[in-house]
Amino acid sequence: MKTIKTLFTLLLIIPFLSCKNDTPSNGKLNVVTTTSMITDLVKNIGGNHINLKGLMGSGVDPHLYKASEGDVTKLVNADIIFYNGLHLEGKLVEVFEKMGSQTKTPIALGEELDKNTLIGSDYFASNYDPHVWFNIDYFMQFAEKVTQVLIEKDPENEDHYTSNHTSYINKLVALQTKLEGIIETLPKEKRVLVTAHDAFNYFGKAYGFEVVGLQGLSTATEAGVQDVQKLSTFIIEKNIKAIFVESSVPKRTIEALKAAVKSKGHDVSIGGTLYSDALGNAGTIEGTYIGMFEYNVNTIVNALK
């Protein structure tokens, strides 16, 4: 069934490829992005010199996302497509690969990273954890690649892209320093993060947290009764104060985990909702990568203290 759906999507796109207008609208590059994190990044680098369209908004799960007819139009008219890769957008990868053979420029930013530094998994198709944006150093590398591609496609505005890149990197460096200060207020023995799925392993590695997700790296997998019971025992043994919901994952799994802990005579609170695979609502602080990251860290630290 999956193969049939993919073929249908490709067949839907192919008739439009020859109709694409090669002249960017208003003389600007037409850029399409997938996740809201990448959209925010490209917006910061490209500014008003590009026409930017993001496919996924707040609360959208990229693991399960399917292209709509409206998305097809955006992709067909794109000069550049920036996406995460590493199988995060599993249902869109074949579409991007097909478009790449039609002289478009799809860029899988995650594939640019040194694979030797990535977190592997025996249980995920790509063998790499795709949630790399939770390592700020990796996100800086994303910014470098985006800037490089924009300059290659639009060399007349090189100074604009370079200046924006420098400014954004400075903000990311300042973010790192601020987050380290916040996390230092949380004793190391309390740095155990339990969430709906394994989206925070890069965060854990960077800041010294033990991270446990009820589901695997992809939300396409379901947590079973045994998973809930095993993790509830872990929470009791570790005396964990709070567990966390994710904005892009149904909260029922975490609520079931809380209930399992209670059934064993203990209590654990839900410490709040974290942004994992998507940013918050547009126009809010959490609707930016920097704001999202700071919000997550404050939520985690305040709940676990």
pLDDT tens for 218-239 read: 444 555 678 889 999 999 999 9
- What pLDDT, on a 0 to 100 scale, did the predictor assign at position 79? 95
Of the candidates 81, 90, 86, the residue with the CA atom closest to the CA atom of residue 30: 81
Give the model confidence (pLDDT) of 161-192 as tens digits.
999 999 999 999 999 999 999 999 999 999 99
- Quote the radius of gyration of the chain (alpha carbons, Å): 20
What rounded mean pLDDT belongs to the chain?
A: 88
- What pLDDT, on a 0 to 100 scale, did the predictor assign at position 91? 80
Q: Which residue has the tokens 């579409």?
A: 95
Cα 49 from Cα 27, distance rounded (Å): 9
Q: Where are the domains of the chain?
A: 2-177, 187-304
Cα 83 from Cα 90, distance rounded (Å): 11
Q: Which CATH architecture has domain 2-177?
A: 3-Layer(aba) Sandwich (3.40)
Lowest mean pLDDT among 11-15, 54-58, 90-94, 293-297: 11-15
- Do residues 134 and 203 touch, judged by C-beta distance below 8 A? yes
CATH superfamily placement of domain 187-304: Nitrogenase molybdenum iron protein domain (3.40.50.1980)
Cα 50 from Cα 54, distance rounded (Å): 12
- What pLDDT, on a 0 to 100 scale, did the predictor assign at position 96? 81
Cα 160 from Cα 170, distance rounded (Å): 16
Confidence label for 2 from pLDDT (cuts 50, 70 and 90): very low
Of the candidates 33, 72, 77, the residue with the CA atom closest to the CA atom of residue 55: 33
Lowest mean pLDDT among 193-197, 204-208, 284-288: 193-197
- What pLDDT, on a 0 to 100 scale, did the predictor assign at position 6? 44
Confidence label for 19 from pLDDT (cuts 50, 70 and 90): very low
The token pair at 199 is 């989206």
Cα 222 from Cα 214, distance rounded (Å): 9
Q: Which residue has the tokens 């999202």?
A: 292
Cα 246 from Cα 223, distance rounded (Å): 15
Task: Give the CA-trace dihedral at 256, 259, 263, 268, to 10 degrees.
Answer: 120
Q: Residue 26 pLDDT more than 60?
A: yes
User: Identical fold at 2-177 and 187-304?
Assistant: yes
Q: Which residues pair with 194 in a beta bridge?
A: 212
Q: How much of the chain, in percent, has pLDDT values that exceed 90? A: 71
- What pLDDT, on a 0 to 100 scale, did the predictor assign at position 103? 59
